[in-house]
A = this chain, B = another copy of it.
Amino acid sequence: MDPNSSYLPGLSRRVLLSALAVAPAVIGPLRATPAWAQGTDPLPSWNDGQTKTSITTFVARVTTQGGADFVPPAERIATFDNDGTLWIEQPMYVQLAFILDRAKALAPQNPGWKTKQPFKAVLDGDLRALAASGEKGLMELVAVTHAGMTAEEFAKIASDWIGSARDHRFKRPYTELVYQPMLELLAYLRANGFKTFIVSGGGIEFMRPWTERVYGIPPEQVVGSSIKTRFEMQDGRPVLFRLPEINFIDDKVGKPLGINQHIGRRPIAAFGNSDGDLEMLQYTTMSGGVRLGGIVHHTDAEREYAYDRQSHFGKLDKALDAAAINRWTVIDMKNDWKRIFPG
């Protein structure tokens, strides 16, 4: 399938999605000696400079016992968007690649799909026709690929796919196309008493099978979009059967709602990369106290991708303007990161 995503615009907005990034900003004045300057660098894949300093300074301030900005460990909640913030989202959301692959895999059992949209478009690799099927078409694809099985069956389907699928450009599993600097950031925050959560527009059950292994984030710390399930007995065993109906969209204003529902505390740090993360960043940072808002700005067409205001996936426009106003840390991928992927 053509990796050019220009025919998949609003299509995936409601059902898939993601987070933000540009122009260096620092969280308040620099007071403490950054932790990384005191010993072993906990963020070795980050170039020294304002961006890195804004992170380490924030952590030093909220973890300094007796300091004016000290935050008790229980309140050190940090939330991370997934698509475009922790792993790649170009040329299309990974979950959309899953949907297309899965629909193709199911096609032999559904001969009628050869002549019926949106399935025909998927089988023909015709992204223009797929886009023309609109949100209704995408929901039909979600229904056949994400519903109609138990939660455990879906977890296995998602797990098997993520283990075998490869990105076309990088020829690597998607779980290796995570950002090494962000893995270091997650570990660094946890080492400083933070509890790290994913808050993604992506499907919660699509992420949970691998987030612990890849990010060190257990299922109970993953917040995402979901479809409804029904409790039922199958052969005397209680299961949750997945229904073709949206339960919750964890994007834009949905992110603060999802955070409140799942976590019940306002984060003190949040990272995203698109307009879908705007409200999460506002909710986190505009609440008094020292807070850290971060935006991954994709500026590196050579090592990854370069996109922002015009992108169909991970559009970063309003949140980029808001970053300057709110002094969020904008991570310039090209200049701030020594390497992009692990290994």
- Chain A positions within 8 Å of B, measured between CB atoms, are 74, 77, 151, 195, 204-205, 208, 212, 218-222, 226, 229-231, 236-238, 240, 247, 253, 256-257, 260-265, 279, 282-283, 286-287
Contacts and interface: CB of A to CB of B under 8 A. Distances in A.
Nearest to A288: B237
Given A220-B265, A231-B283, A262-B262, 19 more contacts: A74-B212, A195-B220, A204-B264, A205-B264, A219-B265, A220-B220, A222-B264, A229-B257, A229-B260, A231-B256, A231-B257, A231-B279, A238-B279, A238-B282, A238-B283, A238-B286, A240-B256, A240-B260, A247-B261
A236 B212 CA distance: 36
Contacts of A212: 74
6 contacts: A77-B220, A205-B264, A220-B221, A231-B283, A237-B287, A238-B279
B237 A253 contact: no
Contact of A218 (B74, B229, B260): B74
Copies in the complex: 2
A212 B283 CA distance: 23
A257 B283 contact: no
Contacts of A279: 231, 238
A86 B29 CA distance: 47
Top-4 shortest CB links A-B: A219-B264, A231-B253, A238-B283, A220-B263
Contacts of A256: 231, 238, 240
A260 B283 CA distance: 26
Nearest to A261: B226
A151 B282 CA distance: 16
Contacts of A257: 229, 231, 240
A70 to B, nearest CB: 18
Contacts of A261: 204, 226, 247
A286 B204 CA distance: 24
A231 B74 CA distance: 24
Among A222, A238, A256, the one with the most B-chain Cβ atoms within 10 Å of its Cβ is: A238
A203 to B, nearest CB: 12
A281 to B, nearest CB: 10
Nearest to A264: B219
Contacts of A260: 151, 229, 240
A219 B282 CA distance: 21
A286 B237 contact: yes
Nearest to A284: B238
A216 to B, nearest CB: 11
A80 to B, nearest CB: 15
Contacts of A283: 231, 238
B231 A263 contact: no
A221 B264 CA distance: 9
A263 B208 CA distance: 10
A195 to B, nearest CB: 7
A220 B264 CA distance: 6
